[in-house]
Amino acid sequence: MKRIISILLVVALLFSCFVGCSRKKKSEDGAEGTDSVTETETGKKTTANTQGPKRGPVGIWDIPVPEINPLGSQELYYSTSYDNAVNEYVLKYVENYIENRRTLLGETWTLSVEDPSGIPLEFLKEYVQEIGGTFFTNAYGDRLTFTYKKDDEYLWWGDARLTHYGYDLTVIKERRVPAGKEVKISIPDISDGEEPMIMFVTQTDGKRFQSAAINIPDGELTLEV
């Protein structure tokens, strides 16, 4: 009886060794020459061993250069456009498990990126992390929303949506007035017949009310909150 048990144990050990070697060989064979998306133990895709979009020096642009600029050079984008008018742009994002709807007002850029990697938003996430941006959770898997603050004067928003060639990135520049500081704002140059409009935002932690004192040298003001 002991002899039979010993034989069974030896057979079991040999079988497990064979399976382990087979799995190792299969894994090694699959790794040769691969250029596919790598997945971590948690199943999240990474950019390891995957070629992303080309990046280069900023150089000269024929439009103002946005602070959110993942590729650097204007020539590396599929297309670029800029609108210096104060336009409305509606965002939907999730914060603290609550879906928020926010209307942004500011100068707007549209940067179209050609990226056949299959994971273009993963490369964009890496760029946002490099510049120190803040992500907002989105209910849609084909969209990435984030903010970037270089200084106290402006708040930059990025909203990227997947396309068949990569993604379209909308960049919005919002004037920001920090609480507790005095800011002087000049009226921009406008065409005849237009009324000047100044837009700014301020952020709060949600625990206190905010008030503002606005001084106008002359004339009158219509205030919309």
- pLDDT for 170: 97
* 114 belongs to a structural domain: yes
| Residue-range definition of the domain harbouring residue 96 | 55-188+195-206
- pLDDT for 190: 55
* 133 belongs to a structural domain: yes
Contact between residue 97 and residue 108 where contact means Cβ atoms under 8 Å apart:
no
Q: In total, how many domains does the chain have?
A: 1
Question: What secondary structure does DSSP assign to 174-212, as a single string?
Answer: EEB--TT-----PPPP--TTPPP----B----SSS----
* 124 belongs to a structural domain: yes
* 30 belongs to a structural domain: no
- pLDDT for 185: 66
- pLDDT for 199: 64
> Whole-structure pTM over 0.95, yes or no?
no
What is the residue-level pLDDT of the chain in tens, covering all 225 positions?
444 434 333 334 344 443 344 433 333 343 333 333 344 333 455 566 677 899 999 999 999 999 999 999 999 999 999 998 878 899 888 877 888 888 898 899 999 999 988 889 999 999 999 999 999 876 667 899 999 998 888 899 999 999 999 999 999 999 877 666 666 666 665 555 666 666 666 666 666 666 666 666 666 656 555
Sign of CA dihedral 147, 60, 168, 107: positive
* 31 belongs to a structural domain: no
Integer angstrom CA distances of residue 57 from 61, 72, 193: 11, 5, 41
* 219 belongs to a structural domain: no
* 91 belongs to a structural domain: yes
Instruction: State both tokens at 218.
Output: 């002359």
Residue type, 10: V
Whole-angstrom Cα distance, residue 162 to residue 144? 9
- pLDDT for 56: 95
* 176 belongs to a structural domain: yes
